[in-house]
Structure 1
Amino acid sequence: MLPQRLRGPTFLALLLTLPICAFAASCNIGDTPFYQVDPASIPASPTYLRDIAPRMNYFCTGCHDPDTSIGQKGVWNFADKATVCGNVGEILRVTFGVRSMPPGAAERMGARDGAILLKWLEVGCPDCNVDTDCPSGRSCRDNVRSTPAKVCGCRGDGDCALESAFPKCDRPRGVCVNCVTTDDCSGTFKCNTDVGDCVQCLADTDCAGDAIKKKCKDKNRCVECLGDADCTAPATCNTTSGSCVTP
């Protein structure tokens, strides 16, 4: 079963890569495309710090990093691990499929590099597997968010300085999060401390100001309905979108 991160637009982009890649010399180790590299030849559980960041620094961040002299190209910042994890399919597509990156005569990833990147996505984009994968004084922990699966724990906000989307340290759990309290959130957003993220609502009362969307779904967002009872017959509730739909 493919993980959720491999479905939808990202996975479609990856699928579009494969037929082109099968005929592209840059995809290969000998005659082997990156997606057919022997699994025994790559780490079983690659980590960001050991396996991915060095490759991004070598192949990508010369252009795709806002701190470089060239500056960030487009919306990509491949010095940020969340951006890399969320765009593995696109990285593989432009590197091995359309072969547009890196541009010109710049050195491209080899098939083994591509295989390691794909494997990292499959195992949950972890920072680390064991404590020794982390900087001194920080331990490898299960994350409170779904991605990455494991992270190097934090001791204070300073350890989260490179986490653009998760700048706060939840000290009791030792992980970088978007918020620790609602004071860390902007506007009317609330802090869902279960996942350390700023959300639209935690309870129905937080949705009281919306004329239509008065129900709080999953401590996350205000929706019109959670079940058919919230809709006026003959409408029924689309529980995915949280909207009342008339047949």
Structure 2
Amino acid sequence: MCRWLAYSGTPVLLDTVLYKPAHSLIDQSLHSRLGVETTNGDGFGVGWYTGEDATPAVLRDIGPAWNNRTLREIADHVRSPLFFAHIRASTGTAVQQSNCHPFRHGRWMWMHNGSIADFHLLRRDLCLLVDPALFTDIEGTTDSEVMFYLAVTLGLDQDPPGAVARMVAVVERSGHQHGVEFPMQMTVAVTDGESVWAFRYSSQGASRSLFYSSRVDTLRKLHPDATFLRDVSDETRLIVSEPLSDLPGAWQEVPEGSYGVVRPGADELCRFTPEPA
């Protein structure tokens, strides 16, 4: 499986989140505590928005994140109000750049932890359901990328939660047709550069770990000596596969079968249910 994080809020250097926390994503690439694998070294990716361009920049590589000099270099120089980062542990598909997350289509970014069970049995059927105009944009061989383009096909531009719900229903239907009892395992983050949607769901009801950071104003009251909290807005949020620190009260678990929306104004936490397409 994999580990990932999504950041939205006051523009910060990528280094502030990727490297500096005690249990940063870079540390998790070697020492994951809650993942299926301890080591996540089958590639990495980061994608970020500058606030000036609606299309995100994406850097992906097949090597491990813990010793990549290019990632270290950009983390010290790139400042962004919204970015994704992902470290990969392959579930069977090739270790190649086109299989690294996040995936990008226009203004959208997508990353995933989990798998479609027996994807090799479902792959042809699912790919045939992708809009033909989008199919040639699929560059890799992962279930994650096919999920993304199915969601785009099913209305991601108009209704992100509904599109993901319809995508999951399509995958589960195909899986059941092929005799797969529990087809879907996912924590997914998707963004259009303004809002971030994060989903935690599995067909079995036993999803991979996912957490969101507590409100900054609450954390300031709990930890008045934490200087880094003074430099970020009240709307700053992190969504992570596993907590980046042991700061008491800093992290809340995303409930099973739910999704959250982080956007300027009020965040939301809602029930997630697959929706027949």
TM-score (norm 1): 0.28
Higher helix share: 1
Higher strand share: 2
The structure showing larger relative contact order (alpha-carbon pairs under 8 Å, at least 6 residues apart) is: 2
The structure whose Rg is larger is: 1
